[in-house]
Amino acid sequence: MLVQKGFRYRLKPTNEQKCMLLQHGGNSRFLWNYFLKQNIDYYKETGKFKFYHELAILLPKLKKEYSFLSESFSQSLQMVARQFDKALKEVFKKEKGFPSFKKKHLLNDSFTCPQKWRLGREFVFIPKIGEVKWIKHRPLQGEPKSITISQDGDKWYCSVLCKCKIEKQEKKKDNIIGIDVGLEKFAVLSDGTVINNPKHLKKNEKKLAKEQRKLSKKQKGSKNRFKQRMKVRKLHTKIKNVRQDFLHKTTSHMIVKYDGVVLEDLNVSGMMKNHYLAKSIADVSWSEFKRQLEYKSKWNFKHFILIDRFTPTSKTCSNCGCIQDMPLNKRQFDCPDCGVSLDRDFNASINICRLGRSRINACGVEEVSSTMKQEKECSVN
């Protein structure tokens, strides 16, 4: 089986190279926003969208009109058209929302080079920029296919997308685990394991909320506002890193320990609509948790089952199957029929596990995959 894996490395550009990276990243952002604006206007006029070929055809004309675009590697510009095309198609598949404008002040520009790059031990050769030093802290696996250079605040990274071959293995089904994710505890497993949220996360979240309030009070365009924005950005990155580290450790451990995982298909995009910071961060964690479990299961030949989110897993007694109302504040499941008394989340996780197991046994292991895209499978940091 062939899978795509991504490997991310820190770049150490010189000041001169930094300027060029900024220019290339900025060009890609400019082009993205241009394509988006074009599409919005075109849709208003005709009720139709412009896809890859109609966008790529604009490139020579655009390069004449905006001479700075010629400084970019032409294939990187074509990649923007491809990426935009993909984003647009994902809207129709109802996987994602409509593409949005990219903003310079977020300092997260990026560009992709499909060809003409080279990887050395000490450097990456980026077309039109040259050899940029990188910190290769871990070896690559498989065959490198493309590189993406991205900005994160004042740091630059190179992600190498590789095609890897994985030897097929027989899937076992003895040790299947049900997972119930929550707000208070990160997750409760059907074998009784409780996974708590990482400690630092809460502290940093509070700090972030405070700094964000400060930012909103600073005058637009002022130096202080810029400084404050950098502060908020740094905290964001820190929280992201803590969370990613925690999720990778948790999911990897679970994939090694169990033969399969079962979880509820939470309506994460629906939950994201709320604006409470802690909650929205939890939502990001859950969808990332699901994403990691899905691709790691696939890579390691383990079962990955999603249960319909409308199944009453919290309301059903895991011992006798009777159903009772369970308001959110009720933390204990006390069964009126058989008298069993269990923690609410633990009871749900047993039901989730049971549903998953019956699904595995029923359909001769036909996995129910979520709608997540394969291309996203690849962030191994």
Q: Which residues are catalytic?
A: 180, 264, 345
- What SS3 string covers 257-281? HCCEEEEECCCHHHHCCCCCHHHHH
| Nearest distance in Å: CB 283, Zn ion | 32
User: Cβ closer to Zn ion: 139 or 336?
Assistant: 336
Nearer to Zn ion, 256 or 322 (CB): 322
Size of the site for Zn ion (CB under 5 A): 7
List CB contacts of 234: < 8 A, sequence separation 6 or more.
Answer: 153
The beta-strand segments (E) located in the chain are 2-12, 110-113, 118-119, 123-126, 130-135, 143-152, 155-165, 176-181, 187-189, 194-195, 260-264, 303-307, 332-334, 341-343, 379-380
Instruction: Kindly state whether residue 337 participates in binding Zn ion, applying the rule CB under 5 A.
Output: yes
The region of 48-56, 69-77, 138-146, 340-348 touching Zn ion under the rule CB under 5 A is 340-348
Distance CA 325, CA 332 (A): 12
| List of residues 6+ apart from 370 with CB closer than 8 A | 265, 290, 294, 306
CB of 335 to Zn ion, least distance (A): 3
Is 282 one of the binding residues for Zn ion (CB under 5 A)?
no
Q: Considering the complex, what minimum distance in angstroms separates the CB of residue 298 from Zn ion?
A: 36
What is the closest distance, in whole angstroms, from the C-beta atom of residue 323 to Zn ion in the complex?
10
Q: What is the contact mask toward Zn ion in residues 295 to 334, using x (rule: CB under 5 A)?
A: ----------------------x-xx--------------
Measured from the CB atom, the residue of 47 and 336 that comes closer to Zn ion is 336
Q: Judged by CB, which is closer to Zn ion: 268, or 340?
A: 340
Query: Residue from 335, 353, 355, 378 that binds Zn ion (CB under 5 A)?
Result: 335
Q: Which is nearer to Zn ion, 41 or 337 (CB)?
A: 337
C-alpha 303/C-alpha 369 separation (Å) is 10
Nearest residue to 189 via CA among 355, 360, 348: 348
Work out whether 338 is an interface residue with Zn ion (CB under 5 A): yes
CA distances from 89 to 99, 114, 220, 329, 381 (A): 10, 21, 36, 41, 27
Applying CB under 5 A, the span of 113-121, 264-272, 337-345, 348-356 interacting with Zn ion comes to 337-345
Binding site for Zn ion (CB under 5 A): 317, 319-320, 335, 337-338, 340
